Each structure stands twice: as C-alpha cells, then as structure tokens.
C-alpha cells in the first residue's frame, strides 16, 4: 500500500478520518464530498497514494482503469448514470485541485452546464 501519513485521503482510506463511504473495491474507495456541489457528489480515489491523475496514469494503467470503472459504478448506484453525470479530475492548483491525492469527482442529479468555469 502506497500511503502518506499527512495526506487527508490516505487518512480516510486508513479510517483515521470518517467519511460516508458509498462504494469500495479492493483498490478503490468512493465517499461523499463533504461540501457537495450537486445532489450526487462523490469522490473516487485509488487506495494507493498518487498526487494527481497524471501521476496515476503514468504509474498504473490498471488502477487508473479501476478508478474510472468505480466512478461509473457509483453513478449507476446513485441513479444518475442514465440522466448524465460528470466525472472531473482537477489536476494541478491552476485547475482547482486542493487535495493532492488523485480523485475523480462524480457529479450528477441536476443539470450541469458547460464550460464549468
């Protein structure tokens, strides 16, 4: 397990910080965002620590694929897959990334405009 002691999401994986978990696989975890921006707003992470999507994609294609498939499974479970949902990887501070453990936002349950701003 690749883990960093001072990483918020590693601490959620380790159950040191509580989160409302909605879906879990051997290598991924999905939990509700503490500050939801839509009726469905979950975060999907690999349990191993990679700082962002670029690092994950460069290091482990299989795990990157599992994160994508978990994100879709969450959308299906939440009942938003049919109406449409958004999967977002903010990558880097300029794109709004604030937690540097790669995560996919899964947003749905309302109309979503584009571009997001």
Interface pick for ligand 5GP out of 13, 19, 45, 53 (rule CB under 6 A): 19
Rounded Cα distance between 13 and 49, Å, is: 10
* Residue 41 appears among annotated catalytic residues: no
Rounded Cα distance between 32 and 105, Å, is: 9
Q: Which residue has the tokens 């690999």?
A: 46
39 is an interface residue for ligand 5GP by CB under 6 A: no
Whether 32 contacts 39, CB under 8 Å:
no
1 is an interface residue for ligand 5GP by CB under 6 A: no
Rounded Cα distance between 71 and 6, Å, is: 25
CB of 18 to ligand 5GP, least distance (A): 8
Stretch that binds Zn ion, among 4-12, 34-42, 58-66, 69-77 (CB under 5 A): 4-12
Return residues touching ligand 5GP (CB under 6 A).
Answer: 8, 19, 31-35, 43, 90, 96-99
């Amino acid at each position: 397990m690749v883990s960093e002691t001072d990483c918020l999401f590693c601490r959620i994986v380790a159950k040191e910080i509580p989160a409302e978990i909605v879906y879990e696989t051997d290598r991924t975890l999905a939990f509700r965002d503490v500050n939801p921006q839509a009726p469905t707003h979950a975060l999907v992470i690999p349990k191993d620590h990679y700082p962002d999507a670029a690092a994950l994609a460069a290091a482990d294609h299989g795990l990157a694929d599992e994160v994508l498939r978990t994100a879709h499974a969450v959308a299906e479970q939440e009942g938003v897959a049919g109406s449409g949902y958004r999967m977002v990887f903010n990558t880097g501070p300029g794109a709004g990334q604030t937690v540097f453990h790669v995560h996919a936002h899964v947003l749905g349950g309302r109309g979503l405009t584009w571009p997001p701003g």
